[in-house]
Amino acid sequence: MKKILFICAGNVARSQMAEAFYNKFTDSTNATSAGVLDFTPKKYAHPIPEVIEVMKEEGIDVSQKKVKLVTPEMVLSADKVFILCPEEKVPDFVLKSSAITRWEIKDPFDSSTANFRIVRDQIKQKVRDLIQ
């Protein structure tokens, strides 16, 4: 089975949701996630409360998932890399990978729980489509 890497700005919302859905739907641990903003893992240990809440509604507990910064090793070891944030924020070592696919998903950070649900459902559908 392929190793998948989901990348977003902070690894506190979108990429964590994508990782959780992929691993649940494939009954695996083949997906991981990371962020591109180096200050985020210092500021947040785990996904933000809104993400924990909306994923719990799906029967998925992400409360203990760690917030991680993307590394060259993560990118090299992935068969597929999905970028869920604007490319101008993404390091060159990620963009040079031939394994990248871009997903247009709006950052829900600092918005309503209802907006987090919309983003969650978009990610859920994209992950389902990916697995098909």
Domain that holds residue 42: 4-131
Give the pLDDT of residue 33. Answer: 98
The pLDDT assigned to 122 comes to 98
Q: Give me the pLDDT at residue 84, please.
A: 97
CATH number at residue 60: 3.40.50.2300
Residue-level pLDDT at 82: 98
Q: With contact defined as beta carbons under 8 Å apart, do 34 and 70 qualify?
A: yes
pTM for the model: 0.97
- Residues of the chain predicted below pLDDT 70: none
pLDDT of residue 43: 96
What is the dihedral sign for C-alpha 86, 125, 44, 31?
negative
| Number of domains within the chain | 1
Q: Please, where are the H alpha helices in the chain? A: 14-26, 40-43, 49-56, 72-77, 92-95, 113-131
* Residue 102: predicted pLDDT: 97
